[in-house]
Amino acid sequence: MAFPLDPDTVSHGIQLSVAPVFLLTAVSGMIGAVAGRLARIIDRARTVEQHIKHQTHPEETDANYAELAELRTRGLLANACIALLTLCGILIGVTIMVLFLGETIDFPGLRISIFTFLGGVGCFLLALLCFMAETLIATRLLNFGKKGALPQQRP
């Protein structure tokens, strides 16, 4: 079955489907940022695990295990964020395809684009919440300027 492709129709289809592409750009940038944060979380966890292996004082070991627990939570939030962003990208990609097909070949499933776009935006918003929670946990760990924040010197 051949579909007549009018250049004006194709042009309009491209214009219609370009708007969600900007969301894809934001999604890809955010995936990069969260992946970088996840890499730093993993590196820090490995460093803390090495400290645990070489420590002899139980109070320091307990503090390190507490930090590992928070790093684990941060890692789970970062992974959830990346999964939601990936799902968002897939849904927005489907939206673009459906809008383009609907405009160029009279694809009957144009209503699908409503659900895929809203689903993509919903995933993006949930990913932002995960990102916010992860950064709140990360900044809670900071002890800059607090009395007693520096480790005590041992004789």
Q: What is the model's pLDDT at position 101?
A: 83
- In percent, how much of the chain has pLDDT > 70? 80
Token duo for residue 129: 């919440």
CA distance 43 to 16: 43
**72 CB contacts (<8 Å, ≥6 apart)?**
45
Q: What is the model's pLDDT at position 105?
A: 81
CA distance 141 to 126: 23
**pLDDT tens digit sequence for 9-32:** 667 666 666 778 888 999 999 999
148: confidence class by pLDDT, cuts 50, 70, 90? low
Q: What is the model's pLDDT at position 69?
A: 93
Q: What is the model's pLDDT at position 155?
A: 40
* CA-angle at 38, arms to 37 and 44, nearest 5°: 90
3-class DSSP state of 65: helix
**The pTM of the whole model exceeds 0.85:** no
Q: What is the model's pLDDT at position 5?
A: 63
Q: Where are the domains of the chain?
A: 7-139
3-class DSSP state of 146: coil
CA distance 75 to 57: 27
CA distance 6 to 18: 18
